[in-house]
């Protein structure tokens, strides 16, 4: 279930629960349950993983708790009702504050969980989940889907000659070059030491090959400079488009890897596609 759909379902559930919770609250005006059921609304807000919704749910629970006090049956001991309602508000806001802090922490951690720390590109884990989603969309809509696998030629020489810090600079620079050539819908990831992948939705093999060539030429023409070091390098790129509904993610990437291997075996600094449409 998509995130927005899940949120809408949970909000609808909240609206359906409010009358039941309010009736339960009024039925036990002096009991420990007075106002406490509204904690359920805060927990529903937590499940949506939206910190603002948590606060809205806590506010709704607060309003209902106060209204419940004034609608309580006559004859209730005022001090007991006030204490119970106060405890209910404490419970509601304790859960809300903890939930809010928790969700804010997740918001800060989420980018770290899906990004490569060196290049700030997506990492292999995120790329793997994205390619699964895109293949599922391709099976439903039959829109073309292509992938590039890129490897830096003789990258080990950079580390050996100029040091690993220069190697890190090189990978960061390459990442910025790749990003200049892609669209917002494309996914660029670092999937290994000097290996990258670019997922191209709604792109057939010819368009993917054109992008690969532009990237290859941009890297070849770029003058890398770090401190006193100046050098050039190239990349080899394997290109493929998914064409068989029986292909799994592994088979899709394997085909691109085979094209990358062929590019490296036939001289490097080239792009090779699994096929080209006429």
CB 22 within 8 A of CB 64: yes
CB 211 within 8 A of CB 182: yes
Other C-beta atoms within 10 Å of 132: how many?
12
Other C-beta atoms within 10 Å of 176: how many?
12
Q: How far apart are CA 24 and CA 35, in angstroms?
A: 9
**Given the residues 130, 194, 230, 241, the one annotated as active site:** 194
Other C-beta atoms within 10 Å of 40: how many?
19
CB 231 within 8 A of CB 169: no
DSSP-based three-state secondary structure for 233? coil
Q: How far apart are CA 242 and CA 248, in angstroms?
A: 10
Residue 194 is among the residues annotated as catalytic for this protein: yes
Phi, psi for residue 24 in degrees, rounded to 5: -65, -40
As to burial, measured by CB atoms within 10 angstroms (0-12 exposed, 13-18 middle, 19+ buried), residue 124 is middle
Distances (CA, A) of 138 to 101, 123, 133, 182, 273: 38, 22, 9, 19, 20
As to burial, measured by CB atoms within 10 angstroms (0-12 exposed, 13-18 middle, 19+ buried), residue 137 is middle
Which residues on adjacent β-strands are paired with residue 190? 196
> Catalytic site residues?
194
């Amino acid at each position: 279930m998509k995130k927005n759909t899940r949120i809408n379902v949970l909000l609808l559930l909240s609206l359906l629960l409010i009358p039941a919770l309010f009736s339960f609250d009024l039925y036990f005006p002096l009991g420990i349950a007075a106002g406490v059921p509204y904690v359920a609304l805060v927990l529903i807000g937590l499940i949506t993983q939206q910190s603002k919704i948590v606060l809205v749910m806590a506010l709704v629970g607060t309003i209902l708790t106060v209204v419940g006090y004034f609608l309580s049956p006559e004859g209730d001991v005022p001090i007991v009702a006030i204490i119970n309602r106060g405890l209910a508000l404490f419970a509601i806001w304790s859960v809300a504050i903890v939930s809010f802090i928790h969700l804010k922490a997740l918001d800060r951690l989420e980018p770290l969980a899906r990004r490569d720390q060196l290049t700030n590109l997506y990492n292999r884990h995120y790329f793997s989940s994205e390619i699964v989603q895109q293949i599922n969309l391709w099976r439903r809509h039959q829109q073309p889907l292509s992938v590039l696998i890129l490897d830096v030629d003789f990258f080990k020489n950079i580390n050996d000659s100029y040091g690993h810090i220069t190697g890190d600079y090189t990978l960061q620079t390459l990442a910025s070059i790749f990003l200049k050539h892609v669209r917002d819908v494309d996914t660029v990831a670092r999937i290994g030491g000097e290996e990258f992948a670019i997922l191209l939705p709604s792109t057939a093999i010819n368009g993917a090959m054109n992008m690969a060539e532009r990237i290859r030429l941009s890297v070849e023409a770029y003058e890398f400079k770090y401190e006193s070091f100046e050098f050039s390098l190239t990349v080899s790129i394997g290109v493929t488009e998914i064409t068989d509904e029986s292909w799994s993610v592994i088979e899709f990437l394997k085909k691109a890897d085979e094209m990358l291997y062929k590019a490296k075996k036939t001289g490097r600094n080239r792009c090779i596609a699994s096929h080209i449409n006429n």
